[in-house]
Structure 1
Amino acid sequence: MDYAGLDYRNIRFPVDRPLTEDERAKRYHQKTPSNAPPMDFLSVIKCNNHYIELVDRWYSIKGFNTWFGVCVALGGLFFATMIVLAFFWAPVTDQRAALWFMMIVLLPISLGLVWGGWWLIRTECGRWTHYPMRLNRKTRQVHFFRQNGTVLMVPWDDLFLTLGEEKSPLSGTTYDLRAHMLDTDGETVLESFSLGYPSPLGNAESIDKFWAFLQPYMEAEDGVERTWHHLKENIGYLVPVDGRKEGWRWSIARSFMLAAHWPYLQLVFSPFFGLNAVGRMLAMWTSKVPEWPAEVEQESQVDADDPYTLTWRDNDTIGWWELYWPLICTVIGVGGFVGLIGWMVSNLWR
């Protein structure tokens, strides 16, 4: 999946470089609204008259690296075990050259798979449940929770916003609303992050729709009211990670939302979505909940009588097609996958 920009072992967006002509051509100006229909792409944690808080670009696909990494690591461990057993306990034959080849060449490759799988798991597990971004309408500051637990604070008006493009072997070209913090020369990129990410299935027009949702909140006189109506009337769900880890129900529901309008596809791809749900649960359970520094919370005080406050507590009830059908698909998909692996392993032992 698309993990571009993940700051683990320095896999991140390129910085300390000048802006490109393509970034300049595809810039989003803070004062310029979009005519596209607004969409938030299930990225809002909470919203009020003071600030709006969003999830990071990796939140929607969280779980993939975990389950895939587990499969890679266990596969490598299985083959490494088979090679060692064959070398030391196989009957004496005239195939010792082949066994030495397995020990010298194939065993390191198998152990490399174990290491690679563990590396993938660590990109999600034992870290943070998510990396929130808070856009303060009143102070006009943007706070970004970095992957190392520190917080970047930059004025909204100083951000260089543009259409970001990344290429992934599994999802092809993906797009996001890329935010650059520039040096005093106005040319050099010092730090970058994704302010909005529609999903691996989004396109360039999706960013126009997200900008049509986000820009009015920060710029329009009636922006808070418009945002409130959009979230309350058109969406029904805010991300349930405000001061907490998401529960298993949301892990399942969120994993199947890529095919939310096609229940039959949820069943067809149930091994993939189901494993992602299980990996997502593991990643969430082993990670910490991010906390904003005291100074950020101090300048983000919400009025007790704020009529525009929305959090996950205001969500609609998750129904049959949002939870229970995906739960059934998870059982079918994961059960089928485990059964297939068990059948393959049993045949290898024969």
Structure 2
Amino acid sequence: MAWDGTVWVKLKRSLTDEEKAHQLKVDVVASETPKDDFNVFSMNNIFLESTNAAFKQRGLLTYGCVAIVAAAGFLAWVALWCLQNPLGHGSVQGPELAVAYAGATFFLIVSLAIVSVGLWGLHQENFTWTRFPVRFNRHTRMVHAFRGAGSKGVISVPWERAFFFVEPGPRDPISRASVFNIRCHVLDERGLVAQSFSVGSRVVTISDENTGNGRSIVNRLSSQFEYIRRFMEQGPGALSYPDLVPTQVSLANSMRIWGRTDKAILAERNFLTTLFVLVLSPLTYFTAVLHYIGQRTSRQPVWPPEVESECGQAPLAEPVRA
């Protein structure tokens, strides 16, 4: 299993039938309307650098883990207090006291384990890297996904051998919304999944994928992929210049990034989901603050010298208005 910022991905396995059915082939037009969808960090004549699915959601995991750490920490304090203050102040003895101590110890261990999980989750967005970009080099025909410092922190795969597909996520039990994103599997010589990373941004829909409204939302991913595919096949001149995602760390940029995340739901023009988004807007902007804190405590990614030398220092492509 490998953690990809939003989900655990099972490795060393064959492709599933669902993954094969949702494949986005690099040599087949995925959409007639390629759109960057606010997923591009930078683009020039040689490479395009994209976000991954976790980037725009940064802060959400922090929000959840802060609550987990606080709740589990309180339970751990209660369990510790019980260990220091036996029931009945001495009136409970023998087996009953042993059971009470065992129960308090058990809850203390479980609570501390949950605190550890929460701290691990906080570390995924704080004191790490500001972003985990994916770079598409049209000259070398390579795809590089940043995972950390050094050459071992980069997943690289030839463009023609990369297996892209639309990955459906689980339906949220409260909002009943489903999340989809583009994923790339790196296959070994036996056709097994050796590595995996996400590309672009997620889309959210409350409608079923098989309905017209649901398909229109999910099809945004095909447009995202076609933007990248067309760049790799035809270059930046065939595309409209993207609205670049800011890489400079600032509260204003975090607000801008998080303020756009609800547009996928609002685009459905459903009264209930629109109301849901408006009610949760304070949470959205609070999470944007956590996004900023996470970025402020983290380092900017640095590609290995071999990747940078491949990409060169080409000038930015001139904007082309479609």
Aligned counterparts of 1:308 and 1:278: Cα–Cα separation in 2: 32
Deviates more, 1:65-74 or 1:298-307: 298-307
Compute the displacement of 1:306 (Å): 4.5
The question of 1:19 aligning with 2:21 is answered: no
- Structure 1 residues 182 and 305: CA distance shift in structure 2, 3 A: closer
- Structure 1 residues 147 and 5: CA distance shift in structure 2, 3 A: farther
User: Which amino acid counterpart does residue 120 of structure 1 have in structure 2?
Assistant: G
Runs of 5+ unmatched residues, structure 1: 232-236, 310-350
Q: How does 1:23-34 map to 2 (within 5 A)?
A: 23-34=19-30
The question of 1:52 aligning with 2:58 is answered: no
User: What residue is the counterpart of 1:176 in the other structure?
Assistant: 181
Runs of 5+ unmatched residues, structure 2: 206-213, 268-273
Decide which of 193, 196, 201 is 1:192's aligned counterpart.
196
Aligned counterparts of 1:252 and 1:213: Cα–Cα separation in 2: 25
- Structure 1 residues 114 and 21: CA distance shift in structure 2, 3 A: closer
User: What residue is the counterpart of 1:68 in the other structure?
Assistant: 64
Aligned counterparts of 1:76 and 1:264: Cα–Cα separation in 2: 32
Alpha carbons 1:47, 1:308 under 8 Å: kept: no
Alpha carbons 2:203, 2:218 under 8 Å: kept: no
The size of the alignment, in residue pairs, is: 292
User: What residue is the counterpart of 1:238 in the other structure?
Assistant: 244
Compute the displacement of 1:224 (Å): 1.1
TM-score normalised by the chain length of structure 1: 0.71
Q: Secondary structure of 2:9's match?
A: coil
User: What residue is the counterpart of 1:111 in the other structure?
Assistant: 112
Residues 121-164 of structure 1: CA deviation (Å, up to 9, x unaligned): 12222221111111111221111112576112221112122222
User: What residue is the counterpart of 2:260 in the other structure?
Assistant: 257
The question of 1:205 aligning with 2:219 is answered: yes
Compute the displacement of 1:274 (Å): 2.9
Decide which of 225, 240, 245 is 2:237's aligned counterpart.
225
User: What residue is the counterpart of 2:228 in the other structure?
Assistant: 214
TM-score normalised by the chain length of structure 2: 0.77
Residues 275-334 of structure 1: CA deviation (Å, up to 9, x unaligned): 31232122112222110111211121244474259xxxxxxxxxxxxxxxxxxxxxxxxx
Aligned counterparts of 2:230 and 2:50: Cα–Cα separation in 1: 15
Aligned counterparts of 2:171 and 2:298: Cα–Cα separation in 1: 25
User: What residue is the counterpart of 2:160 in the other structure?
Assistant: 157
Q: Secondary structure of 2:203's match?
A: coil
